[in-house]
Amino acid sequence: MKTILFVHGTGVRSKREQEALDRIGDGFRKVLPGTVVETCSWGDVLGVAPADGTDAPDGAGPAWSPDGSGVTWSDAERAVWARLYDDPLYEIRTAVLGAPGGASATSPRALNLLRSRVRDLADDPDVGELIPDGEPREQFREAVAELLRAQEFAAALPFLTARASHDLVARSVTSAYIRFRERDAGGPVLVSAAERDALWRVVEKTLGGAALGLGDRARAVAWSTAQHMARPVVRRHRGALLTRATPALGDILLYQARGRPLRTYLAERVREIGGPVVLLGHSLGGIACFESLVAHALPNVRLLVTVGSQVPYLYGLDALATHRLGASLPDHFPDRWVNIVDQEDLLAFPADDHFAGRVRDVAVDTREPFPRAHGAYWTTPRVYDAVRTAVEEC
């Protein structure tokens, strides 16, 4: 009789572990009758203690309320830009969706005028003073052209023209330009908030200036966003947030700094079982399983199964404690290793590229988006079928 020894991932403590174990036990009883499922409960023993928040005082200031009171304009502005950097059309979309019917009535002449002004922004001398000749100017020109080609922007132009919403267009252009530069650079670019604001205000002026009453609309949009994203809410509840986040993040940091006790504990659990073992590790638990099998000769482990694992990623960074980049796996490492991956799980990595001939990657589809996909393996029948097939081959 084989024993499946489940090694949970980061942040898991007794209650959550039992829920996962119940689900996993039910799943394997259906496909591998007679197999015993046990757990290596390391979270409560070797994981970090929950933070009590005493070293992370909550922010002061008025409490947030659903009508936006207690959220400063600076906070709301920051929240809007957080959205715009990711989606330059966010503010325009929000304004269009909140507008009454008939708000897009405008003349073809006015519509064409705004479109041509947007198209020619790169050639405007005032804009040119903020964007130097050469690559930055061409990047700005391309970013504007991409924005004009966007169907959603084209559909919103009548509304933007009718309302003279030059500020919304200006912020959209500016965020599209910054996003274009970051895409070209492959990462964040150094643009200060002052430089960003100077650019969008010049663009707004070039397009025709601000219309009366539009500042109130922009503020309403910003506050609506800030109700969900404003940093004061995070600051005010920092202690509670850290209390929840510390087990997950802290376990990873603790393992990377001092992971030997967990590896030793895991090896002792395997030896206690004595008979044939299938070592099943999820996420950080999979890293601990892999490194324990490198560091310890555990001949009763007949199969290693890593699920949603970062072993290949850390190996590629040469960041594993027991197995250096380029080294061969030791002779005592199990002959059979299955690595289960959902491509939508951004924390899961295929292993075959790094460990060709020693591992078999198995793709599954949890049908969940990230980050839920990372914890959804145990509700996916394909996972249990993959383990059953590997067990039957042992």
Range picked from 42-46, 131-135, 285-289 for highest mean pLDDT: 285-289
User: How many other β-carbons are positioned within 10 Å of the β-carbon of residue 264?
Assistant: 14
8, 21, 41, 45, 300 from 14: Cα distances, Å: 11, 10, 8, 10, 27
Say whether pLDDT at 245 is over 50.
no
**Residues counted in the chain:** 394
What per-residue confidence (pLDDT) applies to 68? 44
Among residues 30, 43, 26, 34, the alpha carbon closest in space to that of 3 is found at 34
Say whether pLDDT at 69 is over 50.
no
How far is the C-alpha of 203 from the C-alpha of 131, rounded, in Å?
A: 11
Tokens of 277: 């073992």
Q: Report the chain's mean pLDDT, rounded to a whole number.
A: 81
Q: Which residues contact 70 (CB under 8 A, 6 or more apart)?
A: 61, 62, 63, 64, 232
Q: Which residues contact 203 (CB under 8 A, 6 or more apart)?
A: 121, 127, 169, 170, 173, 174
Sign of CA dihedral 89, 90, 92, 93: positive
Torsion angle of alpha carbons 228, 229, 231, 236, nearest 10°? 30
* 180-206 per-position pLDDT tens digit: 998 988 877 778 788 899 999 999 999
Confidence of residue 79 (pLDDT cuts 50, 70, 90): confident
Cα 339 to its chain centre, rounded Å, is: 22
* 120-159 per-position pLDDT tens digit: 999 999 999 998 778 889 999 999 999 999 999 999 999 9
